[in-house]
A and B are shown apart, each in its own frame.
Chain A
Amino acid sequence: MTSLNEQQPPASGAAGIAAVAARDAVKPRNRRRYSADLSALGEPALWGFGGALARGIMLIAGVLLVVLYNGATTFWPKPIDRVALTDGTVIAGVERRGTIFRPDLPRLTDEQRAVVEENEGFAYRTLYQTANFDLYGDDFQWVADFETANVTQPEDFYYFERQTWGVFVGRIAGMTIDGQEMAYDADVLKREQRAARERFREIRQLERSEIGAINHHIERERLAQRRALLREGELQRGEAADVDGMASQARDGILAESQARIQTLQAEYEVLQARVNEIRANDRRYTVTLEEVGGRQITPEISQIVRYYPANTIGIADKIGIYLSRWWEFVSAEPREANTQGGVLPAIFGTVAMTLLMVVFVAPFGVITALYLREYAKQGRVTSIVRISVNNLAGVPSIVYGVFGLGFFAYTMGGTIDQLFYPENLPNPTFGKGGILWASLTLALLTVPVVIVATEEALAAVPRSMREGSLACGASKWQTIRYVVLPKALPGIMTGMILAMARGAGEVAPLMLVGVVKLAPALPIDGFYPFIHLDRSFMHLGFHIFDVGFQSRNSEAGKPMVFVTTLLLLALIVAMNATAIIIRNRLKRKYATGQF
């Protein structure tokens, strides 16, 4: 550029000079602007990064869409097909899904073989949920297109969800109301079903709560008696002979009192049981006769029918009603039919309770460890080794933690607790088996590296000037940490907790060893003293997915529940994380307003 003037050719006129100057001035600048190399700009790399991001987002979105679609459509009422087969049999069922398959040609009739061979050996088959497990011994049936004669959707076919035996598909042949046989009347059945369900709930209430409470008290008395006997044994071993008599007297007194209480409870029990029997007898006077497509009939009590609808004539409003009522049952009721139907309330409860308990354990443990490691420990080789070990712990397979939890927490610690505090219950373990306490402790152990690492980072990010400001005010090191460093690091620590929570709530493998069960008889929290039963095993949504989808007798029936449960688990984790994030952002705002 400096040589611009020197390069000018000899003047041939003012206009010539101006033109040449303009050309020389413009040209190099233009050339420079457009000469940047493509690779220098990093464009191709950028496309690569963008592509990687897009692929990642698409994978996640794909998973979410599959879960969302399958989860959201599972509870929608679907029509019932009546399928007549070429061999004369007739089946009725709800279409589940279809696949292309390669039929076993020698087993087909000549006509069928001709059809299949026309399609190069392939055929299409449909899976029908024929239900009626009590009659057929199976819930599902494959039907190939070449054996289908015709498909109709008869208006009188109903879809029944029963308390036991699962779904029934068929017609209503008649009903018995209060002992009187009569023809099917839609309004009467609707009314009676509601009344019958009320009776059913009453029986369950009596059996679960009131008889359950009596059983609980009787069990306590039994344990109290055993405790008295055990204590007497201890006295006899240690004391003189004359004390022996006194101990026996005391024992006899306790036993007699306890026995009297058991007598009273037993009497109460008899009364309640009589009441239950009375309701049961009454309930048996209300039945409905159902007829499957082949003509066989069953006659269950009306109270057995949870929900029913005419699948082929039902209107859209009723469909929405059924859809919502199924969702409501799903999140608010207990499971039935080996977890493939009904709700998952105990699993929701177990998941939330376990996760919260885990946070309670992991938070102080992780934060205190990180605090010592970062603020107090002399930085050197030992702290480096500790830090690397902690980071590596995060990579240990989670099942290893499960094994450790079972061996150390349940058997060693729990076994000791049993011997010290619950000897009357032995050889039945109280804490000496898997339970919600040991499961949360195991998960706390599993997630503690996440919290330690996040807390350390957060502590390291607190500016030195803050600490110096506090120390210069005459604060001690602990006061500086307590009042200046920790509040400032709190949002970062919360981030660690959120990560730990997400990890813990989604973990299944270790839980299978330390307390999760397929079906828990009681929740870890109930109305009996001491209200929170940390020794109890519990249900968990993650394990529920595994169990329903892959471990049940009837995994085809459980498949849709896998997606619904996954959807619910995702929603639950999102809800818990969102709560934590909101709390964190509140803290952030509180401690970081107007920082420049």
Chain B
Amino acid sequence: MNDIIEFEPTSYHVKKSTDGPALDITDFNLWYGEAQALFDCNLEIQKGQVTALIGPSGCGKSTLLRCLNRMNDLVDGLRIQGKITVDGFDIYAKGVDVIALRKRMGMVFQKPNPFAMSIYDNITYPLRVDGITKRSILDETVERALQQSALWKEVKDRLQESALGLSGGQQQRLCIARAVASDPEVLLMDEPCSALDPIATARIEELIEELKGTYSIVMVTHSMAQAARVSDNTAFMYLGRLIEYGDTDTIFTNPQKSRTNDYVTGRFG
């Protein structure tokens, strides 16, 4: 480990979106008990674009992602410092309705986690917990979400069957459909393809391509090839620090930091 790199400031060369930032992370620090996991992270997630978070295991990229919809609240002994704002609204401010926040941030997990319900009930779950029971609205949402997640053709005739009967790739697309059902502003994806085979992965990547523009997507990935293929901006993190954040092409072809260069060329990590 090189101390000189540790204290160098982050290098920024972000491709700005015309709509401005969707999320603004300012001077964000995080501790699990005594151990600090994130150090002074500053980044703006651009609206309507795909932002990839890359870095070696344990670098804090999943932690950062889970802070965006406050999933980390469930962890005991967690402490944060700094600010994360959505449209100028601080999500860690006192009195914030976490449930309302999570409805604005759809999340897709590493392993497909459909509920033990029918496909229909899975997708309408975010609406039903909101108290929406009107059949026409639910039907409409199911069709839209399944169209968006490119699953409609495959499952439209068996919406009432158990979601657990789908294949792994289909289950993950169902989870994406569930995440977009409540029409969020941001989609958070935590290694969405790591449990899938290459064909299913390709389909999810296509899907991300289609969804961007409608939603701002933040995606954690271990595959640099995937980050290069689907993202507009890439953030490289190392040991809880944001090393370099910017245009994906630049990160992979002409990184500004030697540490980034080492990682993307496969010299370590």
For residue B225, CB closer than 8 A to chain A, the reply is no
Q: Are B165 and A473 in contact (CB under 8 A)?
A: no
| Residues of chain A with a CB closer than 8 A to B29's CB | none
For residue A585, CB closer than 8 A to chain B, the reply is no
Using a CB-CB cutoff of 8 Å, which residues 471-490 of chain A contact chain B?
471-476, 479, 483-484, 487-488
The answer to whether residues A595 and B164 also contact, given A465-B111, A474-B99 and a CB cut-off of 8 A, is yes
| Residues of chain B with a CB closer than 8 A to A475's CB | 99, 125-126, 129
Q: Report the interface size class on chain B.
A: 20 to 34
For residue A376, CB closer than 8 A to chain B, the reply is no
| Residues of chain B with a CB closer than 8 A to A473's CB | 102-103, 125-126, 129, 178-179, 182
Question: 11 extra interchain contacts, Cβ-Cβ under 8 A, other than A465-B109, A469-B114?
Answer: A470-B125, A471-B102, A472-B106, A472-B109, A473-B103, A475-B125, A487-B116, A593-B162, A593-B165, A594-B165, A595-B164
Question: What does the 1/0 interface line of B158-181 toward A look like (CB < 8 Å)?
Answer: 000010111010000001001100
For residue B107, CB closer than 8 A to chain A, the reply is yes
Q: Are B115 and A474 in contact (CB under 8 A)?
A: no
For residue B130, CB closer than 8 A to chain A, the reply is yes
For residue B113, CB closer than 8 A to chain A, the reply is yes
Question: What does the 1/0 interface line of B129-165 toward A look like (CB < 8 Å)?
Answer: 1100000000000000000000000000000001011
Q: Are A483 and B125 in contact (CB under 8 A)?
A: yes
Question: What does the 1/0 interface line of A75-115 toward B look like (CB < 8 Å)?
Answer: 00000000000000000000000000000000000000000
Q: Are A472 and B102 in contact (CB under 8 A)?
A: yes
Using a CB-CB cutoff of 8 Å, which residues 59-81 of chain A contact chain B?
none
For residue A4, CB closer than 8 A to chain B, the reply is no
The CA of A591 and the CA of B164, in the complex, are separated in Å by 9
The CA of A401 and the CA of B74, in the complex, are separated in Å by 40
Question: What does the 1/0 interface line of A8-49 toward B look like (CB < 8 Å)?
Answer: 000000000000000000000000000000000000000000
Closest Cβ–Cβ distance, residue B3 to chain A (whole Å): 36
Residue of A nearest to B164 (CB): A594
Residue of B nearest to A466 (CB): B113
| Residues of chain A with a CB closer than 8 A to B126's CB | 473-475
| Residues of chain B with a CB closer than 8 A to A483's CB | 115, 125, 129
| Residues of chain B with a CB closer than 8 A to A463's CB | 113
For residue B216, CB closer than 8 A to chain A, the reply is no
21 contacts between A and B (CB under 8 A): A465-B111, A465-B113, A468-B71, A468-B74, A469-B109, A469-B114, A469-B178, A470-B115, A471-B102, A472-B106, A472-B107, A473-B102, A473-B103, A473-B182, A474-B99, A475-B126, A590-B116, A591-B116, A592-B164, A593-B162, A594-B165
Closest Cβ–Cβ distance, residue A168 to chain B (whole Å): 65
For residue B69, CB closer than 8 A to chain A, the reply is yes
Question: What does the 1/0 interface line of B199-212 toward A look like (CB < 8 Å)?
Answer: 00000000000000
Chain B residues at the A interface, C-beta cutoff of 8 Å:
69, 71, 74, 99-100, 102-103, 105-107, 109, 111, 113-116, 125-126, 129-130, 162, 164-166, 168, 175, 178-179, 182
The CA of A336 and the CA of B129, in the complex, are separated in Å by 61
Q: Are B164 and A593 in contact (CB under 8 A)?
A: yes
For residue A531, CB closer than 8 A to chain B, the reply is no
| Residues of chain A with a CB closer than 8 A to B125's CB | 470, 473, 475, 483
| Residues of chain A with a CB closer than 8 A to B130's CB | 474
Closest Cβ–Cβ distance, residue A479 to chain B (whole Å): 5
| Residues of chain B with a CB closer than 8 A to A529's CB | none
Q: Are A596 and B115 in contact (CB under 8 A)?
A: no
Q: Are B71 and A472 in contact (CB under 8 A)?
A: yes
Q: Are B129 and A474 in contact (CB under 8 A)?
A: yes
The answer to whether residues A469 and B113 also contact, given A474-B99, A595-B164 and a CB cut-off of 8 A, is yes
Residue of A nearest to B162 (CB): A593
Count A interface residues, CB 8 Å: 24
Closest Cβ–Cβ distance, residue B169 to chain A (whole Å): 12
Q: Which of B116, B164, B166, B168 has most chain A Cβ within 10 Å?
A: B116
Q: Are A488 and B116 in contact (CB under 8 A)?
A: yes
Q: Are B102 and A474 in contact (CB under 8 A)?
A: yes
Closest Cβ–Cβ distance, residue B76 to chain A (whole Å): 8
The CA of A594 and the CA of B166, in the complex, are separated in Å by 8
Closest Cβ–Cβ distance, residue B45 to chain A (whole Å): 17
Identify A476's interface contact among B99, B114, B182, CB under 8 A.
B99
The CA of A538 and the CA of B251, in the complex, are separated in Å by 82
The CA of A483 and the CA of B115, in the complex, are separated in Å by 9
The CA of A409 and the CA of B129, in the complex, are separated in Å by 41
| Residues of chain A with a CB closer than 8 A to B175's CB | 469
| Residues of chain A with a CB closer than 8 A to B179's CB | 472-473
The CA of A232 and the CA of B100, in the complex, are separated in Å by 62
Residue of B nearest to A595 (CB): B164
Using a CB-CB cutoff of 8 Å, which residues 441-473 of chain A contact chain B?
463, 465-466, 468-473
Identify A469's interface contact among B103, B105, B115, B162, CB under 8 A.
B115
Question: What does the 1/0 interface line of A265-296 toward B look like (CB < 8 Å)?
Answer: 00000000000000000000000000000000
The CA of A288 and the CA of B48, in the complex, are separated in Å by 103
The answer to whether residues A474 and B162 also contact, given A466-B115, A484-B115, A596-B168 and a CB cut-off of 8 A, is no
Closest Cβ–Cβ distance, residue B50 to chain A (whole Å): 19
Residue of B nearest to A589 (CB): B162
Closest 6 CB pairs of A and B: A474-B103, A472-B107, A594-B165, A591-B116, A473-B126, A469-B113
| Residues of chain A with a CB closer than 8 A to B71's CB | 468, 471-472
| Residues of chain B with a CB closer than 8 A to A590's CB | 116, 162
The CA of A83 and the CA of B131, in the complex, are separated in Å by 86
The CA of A476 and the CA of B113, in the complex, are separated in Å by 18
The CA of A595 and the CA of B164, in the complex, are separated in Å by 6
Closest Cβ–Cβ distance, residue A88 to chain B (whole Å): 82
The CA of A593 and the CA of B161, in the complex, are separated in Å by 10
Identify B69's interface contact among A472, A591, A594, CB under 8 A.
A472
Q: Which of B69, B125, B165 has most chain A Cβ within 10 Å?
A: B125
Q: Are A468 and B116 in contact (CB under 8 A)?
A: no
The CA of A590 and the CA of B117, in the complex, are separated in Å by 9
Residue of A nearest to B107 (CB): A472
The CA of A230 and the CA of B125, in the complex, are separated in Å by 60
Closest Cβ–Cβ distance, residue B191 to chain A (whole Å): 13
Closest Cβ–Cβ distance, residue A469 to chain B (whole Å): 4
The CA of A473 and the CA of B129, in the complex, are separated in Å by 9
Closest Cβ–Cβ distance, residue A347 to chain B (whole Å): 42
The CA of A286 and the CA of B162, in the complex, are separated in Å by 71
Q: Are A592 and B116 in contact (CB under 8 A)?
A: yes
| Residues of chain A with a CB closer than 8 A to B106's CB | 472
The CA of A298 and the CA of B119, in the complex, are separated in Å by 79
Identify B182's interface contact among A465, A471, A474, CB under 8 A.
A474
| Residues of chain B with a CB closer than 8 A to A468's CB | 71, 74, 107, 109, 113
Q: Which of A463, A469, A484 has most chain B Cβ within 10 Å?
A: A469
Q: Are B111 and A476 in contact (CB under 8 A)?
A: no
Residue of B nearest to A480 (CB): B129
| Residues of chain A with a CB closer than 8 A to B162's CB | 590, 593-594
Residue of A nearest to B76 (CB): A379
Closest Cβ–Cβ distance, residue A569 to chain B (whole Å): 37
| Residues of chain B with a CB closer than 8 A to A474's CB | 99-100, 102-103, 126, 129-130, 182
Q: Are B129 and A479 in contact (CB under 8 A)?
A: yes
The CA of A103 and the CA of B130, in the complex, are separated in Å by 87
Residue of A nearest to B130 (CB): A474
Residue of B nearest to A378 (CB): B76
The CA of A475 and the CA of B126, in the complex, are separated in Å by 7
Q: Which of A470, A473, A479, A590 has most chain B Cβ within 10 Å?
A: A473
Closest Cβ–Cβ distance, residue A253 to chain B (whole Å): 56
Closest Cβ–Cβ distance, residue B193 to chain A (whole Å): 16
The CA of A593 and the CA of B103, in the complex, are separated in Å by 29
| Residues of chain B with a CB closer than 8 A to A469's CB | 109, 113-115, 175, 178
The CA of A475 and the CA of B101, in the complex, are separated in Å by 11
Using a CB-CB cutoff of 8 Å, which residues 568-596 of chain A contact chain B?
590-596
